């Protein structure tokens, strides 16, 4: 299967831009200090978390945010990454007559 760069670019352009909804200060703290690092496989130490900066309501809001938005986007990104990783490499001969991306 040959990669059609033009079609790929059109599909990427069609995708909706991912935007996070408004969050409480505590939920933003949970998102930036726990979710974001864990989502890129960084270690989060319990000793680095300030438990006074969020409430149980913030934890529940984070849970709802993950189950309604983040989980689906993680799956989409994973699927797209998998598909792109399986594409054969493009050689210079494959790009003859086509504009190269720099």
- Report the 10 Å Cβ neighbour count for 41: 6
What is the per-residue pLDDT for 62? 85
Q: Which residue reads 């270690």 in tokens? A: 43
Residue 2 CA to residue 91 CA, distance in Å, equals 12
Higher pLDDT among residues 66 and 19, named by residue: 66
pLDDT value of position 93: 59
pLDDT-above-70 percentage for the chain: 49
**How many beta carbons lie within 10 A of that of residue 31, not counting itself?**
19
Write the Ramachandran bin of 90: left for phi over 0, alpha for psi from -120 to 50, otherwise beta: beta
Please name the helix (run of DSSP H) or strand (run of DSSP E) that holds residue 16, with its range, or none: none
pLDDT value of position 13: 64
pLDDT computed for residue 36 by the predictor? 86
Dihedral over Cα of 76, 89, 86, 9: its sign:
positive
In tens, the pLDDT along 40-90 reads 889 999 999 999 999 999 999 988 887 766 666 566 666 666 666 776 766
């Amino acid at each position: 299967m040959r990669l059609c760069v033009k079609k790929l670019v059109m599909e990427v352009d069609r995708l909706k831009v991912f935007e996070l909804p408004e969050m409480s200060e505590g939920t933003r703290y949970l998102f930036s200090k726990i979710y974001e690092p864990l989502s890129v496989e960084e270690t989060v130490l319990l000793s680095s978390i300030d438990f006074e900066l969020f409430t149980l309501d913030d934890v529940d809001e984070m849970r709802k945010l993950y189950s309604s938005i983040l989980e689906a986007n993680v799956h989409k990104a994973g699927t797209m990454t998998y598909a792109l990783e399986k594409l054969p490499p493009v050689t210079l001969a494959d790009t003859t007559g086509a504009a190269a991306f720099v």
